[in-house]
Amino acid sequence: MSHTTKNKTKLLARVRRLKGQIEAIERSLEADASCGQVLNLAASVRGAVSGLTAELIEDHIREHVSNPDKDDNAARAQGAAELIEVVRAYLK
């Protein structure tokens, strides 16, 4: 079973929130909202997409590469943990 299947409900909830944020941008543009308001909405969407991407990558590493919490190979576990931290920092 894929990690996306195991976490399907949670991932779909995040995607639906993103959809709502995108629709808020659309409504703001249609209502001639100020550019500052639209930019703030766009920034929130960018953050939400980055968060979703980070979660998907982290889950992928844990499922298909190495789970640092369960891997008996200490070097591989450490490498996976470091990679997860880099992904989190990069996509923050």
Domains and CATH numbers, the chain: 3-91 (1.20.58.1000)
Segment 5-23, tens digit of pLDDT? 888 999 999 999 999 999 9
Segment 26-73, tens digit of pLDDT? 999 999 999 999 999 999 999 999 999 999 999 999 999 999 999 999
Residue 4's nearest CA partner among 64, 62, 56 is 56
- The whole-angstrom separation of Cα 57 and Cα 49 is 12
The whole model's pTM is what? Answer: 0.86
